[in-house]
Structure 1
Amino acid sequence: MNMDFNVKKLVGEAGNFISRAVQMTEEVIYAGEKTNIDPQLERLCKQGDEAKNWTQRICKDTEAVLVPNPGYRAEDFLMEKIDKKRPTRMSNLECLGQGMIDSGNEFGSSAAYGSMLVKVGTAELKVGQTEKEFITSAVTSFVNPLARFLENEVKNATRERKILENRRLDLDSAKNKLRKARSMSSGPPTKDGQDPRVMIQQAEREVIAAQSEFNSQTEICKVQMEILMAARDRHIENLKSFVQAQTTYFARCHQLMLDLNRELDIMPLHSVNLSQSFSIDDSQEDMAGTESNNLQLRAKVMYDYVGKAPQEISVLANEVVAVHECPEDTEFFIAQKGSLRGRIPKACVLLL
C-alpha cells in the first residue's frame, strides 16, 4: 500500500512538473499573461543575485591567491567533499628553503657560500611557515564565512524563490481555468454533464486558494531575501579580518628579510683569504708610517662613490675595503683597495 502511495505521489509530482514546464514554455513563446511579482521583492531578488554572483567570484579569486596551483585546489575541494583532511604539503618557499639548507650543508659550513645558503634557507623556511599561517587565517576569517553564506542564506533564498515561481504558475493556471469556465457560462452543460456555473464556482475557489498561497510565499521570500542581504553586509568584518591577516603576513615577512640582511652583512667570509685581499706593498707601508697598524679594520661600501680630489679613490657598492682613521679629516677614512689607496667618506661605508 505504501508502495502504491509512493508511486502515485511520484506520478503526481511528475505530472505537475511537466504541466508547469509546458506552461512556462507557452508564456515564453506566446507571451501569455502571468502574475507579476511584487516590485520590492523583485529588487531584493536582483540584489540577491548580484550578491551570489560576486561572492562566488570573490571566493574563487581569493582561493586562487591563497593556493595558486589549480591541481592542489581541485584536490582540496575533493578532500572537503568526501570529508577528509587536506593533505599537508610544503609550500614553494619551504621547498626553496629546504633545498638551500640541504645544499649548504653539502658544501660545508666552512665555505662562505655553504654557510650563507643555510642562513638564507632557514629564513625562507620561516617565510614559508608565515605564509601558511596567513593562508589558514585568511581561509578561517574570510573564505569560510563567504562559503557558508553561499551554502546557507543563498541556497535557502534560491529554494524559496523556486517555490514562489511554482506558486505563481499554479495561480496563473487557476486563473486560466476560471477564464475558460466563464467563457462557457452561457453555453449548455458539458458533455460529462457539468454545470458551467458549478465549474465557475470551483475555479474561483481554486484561484482564491492559489492566490493565498502565492501571497504567503511572497512574504516568505521577502523575509528570506532580507536575511540574505543582512548576512552579506556582515561580510564587512570578514573583509577587515582578511586585510589584517594580510598586513600581519607582509609585516612578518619584511621583518624576517631585514633580520636576514643584517645577519648576512656581518657573516665572516670564511672562504676568502683576507690577508691576500688587503695586503699592502712594502713601499706603500713605508709611506703610511705608523698608520699601517690600523689596516685591520674592514668596511663594506654601501653605495658607489667617485673620488673628487687627487687624494681620494673611487669605490663601488658592496665592495669590502680595508680602512683606518684619517688624521687630517675625521669625516673620511683612508681606504686600501688592491693597489689603490686614498680617502673615502665614512658615510658611504659600514664597518664590519
Structure 2
Amino acid sequence: MEFNVKKLASDAGVFFSRAMQFTEEKLGQAEKTELDAHFENLLARADCTKNWTEKILRQTEVLLQPNPSARVEEFLYEKLDRKVPSRVTNGELLAQYMTEAANDFGPGTPYGKTLIKVGETQRRLGAAEREFIRSASISFLTPLRNFLEGDWRTISKERRILQNRRLDLDACKARLKKAKAAEAKAAAVPDFQETRPRNYVLSASASALWSDEVEKAEHELRLTQTEFDRQAEVTRLLLEGISSTHVNHLRCLHEFVESQTNYYAQCYQFMLDLQKQLGRFSGTFVGNAESASPAAAASPPVAAATLPAVPTIPVVPTIVGVPNTVAEGVLNPNEVKPPASGTRRARVLYDYEAADSTELALLADEMITVYSLPGMDPDWLIGERGNQKGKVPVTYLELLS
C-alpha cells in the first residue's frame, strides 16, 4: 500500500509538472523544444494521410451501401464480432417483385413475358452488385480500416509519449536554469563578509546547496534528454512507415478499380443482352388483339409496331437468286447487294456492339443506309456504312423519311 501511495504521488507530481510546462508554453512564458523540419514534415504527412484515409473510407462505404441505417447495423455487428446477415440488394428485390407480378398478370402474356425477362436481368445485376460489394470490402475497405485501427493508433500512442517526453525535457531545462540562477545569486553574497560574517556563512551553505541542486538538475536533464531522443527515433521510424502505407493503399486502389470495372462491364453486358432479347422478340409488345381493329389484327406484326413513331420500311418482294442464308439468319456481307429501291437513311439511337461477323457495330448519332431483304426477321435490317455491311436491330435506329 505504501508503494502504491508513493507511485500515485509521483505520477501526480509528473502530471502537475507537465501541465505547468504546457500552460507556460501556451502563455509564452516558457521555452519549447522544437523538432527538426524533417520530423515536422513527417508529422504533417501522417496527419494528412489519416484525415484523407478516413474521408475516403467513409465515402466508399456510402457508395457501397447508401442506406445509413444499414451501415450502422453492419457497424454494430462488426463491433460485436458477429456475422453480418446477408442482405437482399435492390436489384434482387426488384427482380422478385417483377417475377411475382408476371405470375399474377400471366406469364404467357406479352407483359408477363417481358417482366420475367427484365426481372431475370435485375436479379443478375443484383448478384453482380453483391459480388462487387464483397470484393471491394475485402480488397479496399479492410486495408484502410486496418491502417486506421492498427498502425495509426500505434503512431498516435507513440506521439503522445513523445509529447510527454518533450514536456519533461523542457521542465528539466527550466529547473536547471532556475537552479543556476539561484546558485549565481548565492555566490554573490560573500562580498559582505567583512561587515556581516554570519550572512557569509549562510550564503556559503546556500551556495553549496544550490550547487547540489544544479548537479541534480543536470543529471535529470541528461536522463530526460536520452529518453526523449530514444522516443523521437521510435516515432520517426513509425512516421517514415507512412510511405509503405501509401504503397499498400495504392495496390488496394488498383484492385478496387478492377473490381468496379468488372462490375460495370457485367452490368453493361447484362443490359445489352436484355436489349437484344427485347428487340429480337419485339412482336410481344403488340397490343392485345381484342383492342385492335380486324384489319390490324389480320396483318402480321412488323418491326414498326414496337416504335409507332418510326416509319415502316418497305419489304422488297422476293427476288430470285438471293441467297437462302439470309432467311436462315446467316449473312455473308460479300453476297448481299442493296435492292434497286427501298433503301433508307437512318440515324443510330444507341451504341451497338456486333455479336458476330454478320452484324454491324453502331455508334450513337451516326447515319447509315438500311434496307430489308426477303425472308429476314422483321426486327432486323441490313445496314451499310461505306464498305462495311451487316445486320442491325431496328430498335436501335430512327428511320428517316
Pairwise TM-score range, normalised by the shorter structure: 0.7 to 0.9
2:178 is matched by which residue type in structure 1?
K
Deviation at 1:278, TM superposition (A): 8.2
Distance 1:182 1:251, change over 3 A: same
1:215 is matched by which residue type in structure 2?
D
Superimposed CA distance per residue, residues 149-208 of structure 1 (whole angstroms, 9 cap, x where no aligned partner): 112221111111111111110101111110111111142569999711111101000111
Task: Report the 3-state secondary structure (helix = DSSP H, G, I; strand = E; otherwise coil) of the residue aligned with 1:110.
Answer: coil
Normalising by structure 1, report the TM-score: 0.80
Deviation at 1:215, TM superposition (A): 1.0
> Which of 323, 326, 331 is matched with 2:317 structurally?
326
Distance 1:16 1:236, change over 3 A: same
Distance 1:18 1:184, change over 3 A: closer
Structure 1 residue 72 and structure 2 residue 70: aligned? yes
Q: What residue number does 1:249 align with?
A: 263
1:21 is matched by which residue type in structure 2?
A
Distance 1:228 1:181, change over 3 A: same
Q: What residue number does 2:378 align with?
A: 351
Structure 1 residue 211 and structure 2 residue 202: aligned? no
Query: Aligned partners of 1:135 and 1:257: how far apart in 2?
Result: 20
Normalising by structure 2, report the TM-score: 0.70
Q: What residue number does 2:303 align with?
A: 300
Query: Aligned partners of 1:218 and 1:87: how far apart in 2?
Result: 46
Superimposed CA distance per residue, residues 97-119 of structure 1 (whole angstroms, 9 cap, x where no aligned partner): 11111111111112211121111
Distance 1:152 1:117, change over 3 A: same
Distance 1:252 1:211, change over 3 A: same
Query: Aligned partners of 1:49 and 1:281: how far apart in 2?
Result: 74
Deviation at 1:63, TM superposition (A): 0.6
Task: Report the 3-state secondary structure (helix = DSSP H, G, I; strand = E; otherwise coil) of the residue aligned with 2:303.
Answer: strand
> Which of 61, 64, 70 is matched with 1:63 structurally?
61
**Structure 2 unaligned blocks of 5 or more:** 187-201, 320-338, 344-368, 380-401
Higher RCO (CA 8 Å, separation ≥ 6 residues): 1
2:371 is matched by which residue type in structure 1?
K
The 8 Å contact of residues 315 and 372 in structure 2, kept in 1 or not, is answered as: no
Deviation at 1:10, TM superposition (A): 4.2
2:264 is matched by which residue type in structure 1?
F
Q: What residue number does 1:316 align with?
A: 309
Task: Report the 3-state secondary structure (helix = DSSP H, G, I; strand = E; otherwise coil) of the residue aligned with 1:184.
Answer: helix
Query: Aligned partners of 2:17 and 2:222: how far apart in 1?
Result: 20
Superimposed CA distance per residue, residues 21-71 of structure 1 (whole angstroms, 9 cap, x where no aligned partner): 232122101342011112211111111110111111110111110110111
Deviation at 1:302, TM superposition (A): 10
The 8 Å contact of residues 174 and 207 in structure 1, kept in 2 or not, is answered as: yes
The 8 Å contact of residues 314 and 372 in structure 2, kept in 1 or not, is answered as: no
Map 1:159-170 onto structure 2 (within 5 A).
159-170=157-168
Distance 1:92 1:11, change over 3 A: farther
The 8 Å contact of residues 97 and 120 in structure 1, kept in 2 or not, is answered as: yes
Query: Aligned partners of 1:200 and 1:280: how far apart in 2?
Result: 113
Structure 1 residue 229 and structure 2 residue 239: aligned? no
The 8 Å contact of residues 130 and 252 in structure 1, kept in 2 or not, is answered as: yes
Q: What residue number does 2:396 align with?
A: none
The 8 Å contact of residues 92 and 126 in structure 2, kept in 1 or not, is answered as: yes
Deviation at 1:218, TM superposition (A): 1.1
Task: Report the 3-state secondary structure (helix = DSSP H, G, I; strand = E; otherwise coil) of the residue aligned with 2:25.
Answer: helix
The 8 Å contact of residues 35 and 172 in structure 1, kept in 2 or not, is answered as: yes
The 8 Å contact of residues 24 and 30 in structure 2, kept in 1 or not, is answered as: yes
Query: Aligned partners of 2:51 and 2:297: how far apart in 1?
Result: 77
Aligned length: 316
Structure 1 residue 273 and structure 2 residue 289: aligned? yes
Query: Aligned partners of 1:124 and 1:238: how far apart in 2?
Result: 29
Q: What residue number does 1:307 align with?
A: none
